[in-house]
């Protein structure tokens, strides 16, 4: 999740949360409401859309993950909350990344219906100074995948 710097559980704004599935190479976006949906997929918000995840091997045990998500394609037909921000940042940026291992997913068409995992790790940072970063969204995505990659590598070493 990327936003304007505030912890999403404490923000009055409604945001988009991205579920990245590196096994089936998909990224799914849902409406996130920190008050009613504290991060679990067991009660997801409104499905907004999905896109493909490009996975590129970088050596024997490393991979690079990349995706482009045109947020103008989000299905917002049922979102009526006046605090809807979607993906939003300005001079501050917040980054909430939760890497998982033992992931199993199920889809109906393009929509993610089940997101279950064995272990979770996280890297949550709020109010980062985004003015010194030329492309905050790119930096956030790189951070997301660096953390996920480190967690996967660590999980393999401890298994």
The β-bridge partners of 14 are 84
The domain containing residue 53 runs over which residues? Answer: 2-158
* Residue 153: partners with Cβ closer than 8 Å, 6 or more residues away: 61, 62
pLDDT digits (tens, 9 = 90+) for 70-129: 888 888 888 888 888 887 777 777 778 888 889 899 999 989 888 888 998 888 777 777
Q: What is the rounded distance in angstroms from the CA atom of residue 74 to the CA atom of residue 71?
A: 5
Which whole number is the average pLDDT over 48-77? 86
Of the candidate ranges 16-20, 54-58, 107-111, 138-142, the one whose mean pLDDT is the lowest: 138-142
pLDDT at 39: 54
In this predicted model, which residue has the larger pLDDT, 82 or 7? 82
Statement: the pTM of the whole predicted model exceeds 0.75: no
Non-local (6+) Cβ contacts of 34 within 8 A are: 7, 8, 9, 10, 11
For the chain, what is the mean pLDDT? 75
Spatial contact of 37 and 47, defined as CB atoms under 8 Å apart: no
> What domain count does the chain have?
1
């Amino acid at each position: 999740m990327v936003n304007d710097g505030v912890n999403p559980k404490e923000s009055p704004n409604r945001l988009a949360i991205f579920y990245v599935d590196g096994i089936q190479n998909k990224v799914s976006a849902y409406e996130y409401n920190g008050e009613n949906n504290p991060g679990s997929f067991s009660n997801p918000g409104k499905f907004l859309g999905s896109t493909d995840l490009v996975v590129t091997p970088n050596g024997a045990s490393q991979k690079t993950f990349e995706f482009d998500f045109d947020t103008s394609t989000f299905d917002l037909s049922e979102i009526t909350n006046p605090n809807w921000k979607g993906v939003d940042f300005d001079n501050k940026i917040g980054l909430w990344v939760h890497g998982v291992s033992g992931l199993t997913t199920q889809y109906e068409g393009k929509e993610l219906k089940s997101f279950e995992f064995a272990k979770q790790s996280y890297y949550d940072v709020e109010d980062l100074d985004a003015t010194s970063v030329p492309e905050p969204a790119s930096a956030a995505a790189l951070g997301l995948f660096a953390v996920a990659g480190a967690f996967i590598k660590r999980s393999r070493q401890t298994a």
